[in-house]
Chains A and B, each alone.
Chain A
Amino acid sequence: MLKMHNLSKIYRTDEVETIALNNVNIEINSGEFVAIMGPSGCGKSTLLNIIGMLDNPSEGDYLFFDENVARYSEAKLANIRKRHIGFIFQSFNLIDELTVAENIELALLYHDIAASERRDRVAAVMDKVGIAHRAKHMPSQLSGGQQQRVAVARAVVGNQSMILADEPTGNLDSAHGQEVMEMLQGLNEEGTTIVMVTHSPAHADYARRTINLFDGQVVTENLRAA
């Protein structure tokens, strides 16, 4: 599904040059569940952002379905992104001024989908993640676990083939964390590719493969026995 070849990301300010990613080569196939681990500042989130096309690499190639998107403009990336990729963030990133249903609908708003179909699909996905009874509530009225379920719903409502999760359980207690992990596992079993950044070895165990990063480089890749 995606392939990275000698990919680097360097942040430059006037005086400091920070190498966030250094010659990363990875390949992720459709239907995989991959965890990315490593200490703070090792480049996990940068890698995830580049995979998610929220950011461009400084050097190297990034093939997404055999299309090299490394130098694509923001507008082109946005177009690919909205068709293929769903996002889940540690801090949920729900819009405070919109209701649960409206937040989920946001992922369909920028596709050419009729309002009635949007309504149906939002209703269906809310049932699936068990948040339907909260449809008209504001995010601030929900618990953290509920908010993250809304975020998961938003990530999958557009039938995205890949979900990128940046420490999805980081702000949750263990019970809610596990709940979200099971939800992700369920999605993976239905065929969705999942790439997740996490600090938690327990949650990384849900993945079939773990990529360990250190100082911007891939140090090990472990495969878990199926």
Chain B
Amino acid sequence: MFRNYFLTAWRHVFKNRLFSFINIFGLAVGLMSCMLIFLFVEDELSYDDWLPEGDRIVRLHSAFLSPDRPAFRTVSAPGFWMDAISAYAAADVETAVRLVRTNQTIIKDEKVFDERLVFADSTFFDIFKLPFVAGSAASAFSKPMDFIVSEEMALKYFGRIDVVGETLTVCCVQGQEVDVRVSGVIKDIPENSHLDIDFLVFLDPPMFDFAPNILKTWTSVNTLTYFKLKEGATVEGFKARVYDWLDRESPFRKMTADAGMDGQPSDFIRPNVMAVPDLHLHARPDAGNFGDMRPMGDIRFVYTFSAVAFLILAIACINFMNLSTARATQRAREVALRKVLGASRTQVALQFLGEAVMLSLIALMLGLMGVEMVLPAYNDVLGRSLEMTIATNGGLMALALGVAVLVGVIAGSYPALVLSRFAPARILKANKSSDAEGSGRLRMLLVVIQFAVSIGLAICTAVVYGQSMYAQKMDLGFETEGKIVMRNFTSAPIAEQRESIGRELAALPGVESVVFSSEVPTDDNENNTGFQLLSAAGDTSANTEERIINYFSVDFGFFEAYGIDPVAGRTFDRSRGNEVIEAALEDNSIRRSASVVINEMAARNLGFSNAADAVGRVLRAGVYRAGPYDLTIVGVVPDVHFRSIRFGKQPSVYFVQPTNMDVATVTYRTADLPSLVSAIGGTWRRVAPNVPMDMSFLNDMIAAQYADDVAQGTLFAAFSGLAILVACLGLYGLAHFTAERRTKEIGIRKVMGARTRDIVRLLVWQLSKPVVVANLIAWPVAWYLMVDWLQGFEYRLGHGYILVAAVVAGLVALLIAWGTVAGRAIRVASAKPIHALRYE
């Protein structure tokens, strides 16, 4: 008997190839999309889960609010907080560690590499129990300059793993090239961690005496600070202790009081505490413009993505059920015959259930094959190395199996229950399939849902894509073409030669100019200091409020090189005196003077409604590594998008401080870019053999800022494309089915004189109705979601764009539906009516 069922099912699949294909392929695509998305989601959720006692490790973030400017948020905390808070919250804290990230050059056998070293307090391995390959925490991490490398780095520099005792040259620790001895090797940290450590160096606080901002300065925020909480302590409880400390014990208390500021320190400083396993997905809002050690995830993206997966699966399931039930009603005769021949109702029901489950299992297998095929490209877009194996993804696969079986059971249960109930005599006598009145309406409702979801996804995709195009195509306010950016000009071996290297580079054929600055566009580094506007009368007494403003150090010619013209006054002029901020003096009380250029927002911020009024006024400030200065505003430049437009523009002050210029912008105009690049490389290797060359094209750097958005947009587009494809497959199947079911009616109409186009119009309109209704549902929902999403961007598309996207998506959906249906309708409608009537 089972063989008979199997044969019937198999022949049914083959006889109705089209339906079987749509059914199986649609569900396979749905399951594939779902599995791909959940592979990603699973990976996102797994961050730092592997870390022993990870729940007890928390990180301290800090945010500084200022009425004058956007809040300054970082995932770091000032270096001195660790000890102070550990002492104050001793009841909660077991131990703590700070990480300081620095970029250094490592030299081995004449080869130079730019690497990131992480300095960590001695307690590091008490908190992060990373496994060692060679050495142990006790032997390898106990004294200053103990130097641990990852397995990957051991292989990179020495070609083997057991490298304890080998030496590397690091440039530069306190300005000196030093040889370090590798004291231990740790296993590579898994990709699903926020930690990214290739070189771990024992942090001896006096090492950073030369740079007090790292560990000592109250308001400098440069250390990632982790606490391991005692058993039983909670994240919330500890956070409350941190706020207590801030308001009761911290030096900020005196600072706010001295500055005559109203309120508590916690009104201006807003720390946050987050458990390590939450960092990857939840720390982004705390990070401001800055990143973590690895690219950060975003819980909202995980939610959105999961929702998309669910919707695609829903569309595919609806298809499967819709078409299965539609087809099954046509098999009423088979059921009737089986019952006449003695089949029980249960047997008939089981037969249909078995068939549907068989199809859904075939779909699952195809879906798994699809995952295998698509995974490399998917990993490319995501920048991951996700894998699908039974060992690691058993849960996901079991889930997929469960979903497939469930879909099969649901799809099979309608025909199983309804058909098995039919009285055989009635069906055989009527000599036609019986289709319940309501089932057609239910089917149309399901089609409406499918199309509403597809159209909604299409609108969202268009808006997400449009926004990322808008961001990339937006006029940033400066020239981005023909610019090469080179870094490391403040590194010790070449800082002295910066100007001469600049002249050499400028002399290369094709180079128009070389200008230096502390940052270039796209750099996330942010420097802020307080500026006090002196009164117009030239009064030198400080009588106005200090404003915290972002500053950049730029060279003569910087604005010209970037094509930024002043709106008032002038830019820096090498031929004048008194323009430059010089190095610090022994005597820190001497106030010197120099020039500054500010942007329009800064001018407004300082109280000038007319930019020209600011020219000639004086700002008083303590300049980092220079001392007290009175800075005359010589010009006002337009606001430009120095960072990703997600963050908007900022009030900014520009001055010329040669000791602070790390980056060169080489503006070129040449037809032979490769020669220029190799000439630059040659010059660099000749003058700075010990410094790795860090060279990139500015427009690549700008594009990289949007890489995340583009990747998101690409995935979103790909998955909503799949959703639409599956929905259209379903509509096609349904068109086919409807046309078939209405064959008799079409025949009669044709006998009555209906032309082919009358019939086509009839069928197309019938199947367009659900798409039109779907639009009416999708539009307001997509509108609401997208208006909300766009709020997250400082510079965003107008809402009119959503409307355009909605209209276009709706029309395209309608066109696709027509295209899908029309072909079938024309074929049916142009057939000779006698065929329709004869076979009735």
Chain A residues proximal to chain B, CB less than 8 Å: 49, 52, 54-55, 74-75, 78-79, 81-83, 87, 89, 91, 93-97, 106-107, 109-111, 154
Contact = CB atoms under 8 A, between A and B. Distances in A.
Nearest to A79: B753
Contacts of A93: 744, 747-748, 751, 837, 840
B753 A78 contact: yes
B758 interface: yes
Interface residues of B, number: 19
Contacts of A83: 753
A74 B750 CA distance: 10
Nearest to B440: A97
B755 A106 contact: no
Given A78-B753, A93-B840, A96-B745, 20 more contacts: A52-B751, A54-B833, A55-B832, A55-B834, A74-B830, A78-B750, A81-B753, A82-B752, A82-B753, A87-B751, A93-B747, A93-B748, A95-B745, A95-B748, A95-B749, A97-B745, A106-B749, A106-B752, A111-B753, A154-B752
Contacts of A55: 832, 834
A118 to B, nearest CB: 13
Contacts of A79: 753
B756 interface: yes
B440 to A, nearest CB: 10
A97 B437 CA distance: 10
Interface in B741-783: 744-745, 747-756, 758
B565 to A, nearest CB: 71
A49 B834 CA distance: 8
Contacts of B837: 54, 89, 93
Interface of B: 744-745, 747-756, 758, 830, 832-834, 837, 840
A78 B755 contact: yes
B754 to A, nearest CB: 5
Contacts, number: 54
19 contacts: A49-B834, A52-B751, A54-B833, A75-B755, A75-B756, A82-B753, A91-B840, A93-B748, A93-B837, A93-B840, A95-B744, A95-B749, A96-B745, A106-B749, A106-B752, A109-B752, A110-B749, A110-B754, A110-B755
Contacts of B748: 93-95, 106
Nearest to B756: A75
A54 B755 contact: no
B753 A107 contact: yes
Question: DSSP majority for the B interface?
Answer: helix
A83 B752 CA distance: 9
Nearest to A154: B752
A49 B750 CA distance: 13
Contacts of A154: 752
B752 A54 contact: no
Nearest to B758: A110
Contacts of B758: 110
Contacts of A87: 751
A147 to B, nearest CB: 13
Nearest to A93: B748
Contacts of B834: 49, 54-55
B418 to A, nearest CB: 19
Contacts of A96: 745
A163 B745 CA distance: 20
A110 B833 contact: no
Contacts of B754: 78, 109-110
Contacts of B752: 82, 106-107, 109-110, 154
Contacts of B833: 54
B319 to A, nearest CB: 25
A130 B834 CA distance: 29
Given A75-B756, A91-B840, A95-B745, A54 B751 contact: yes
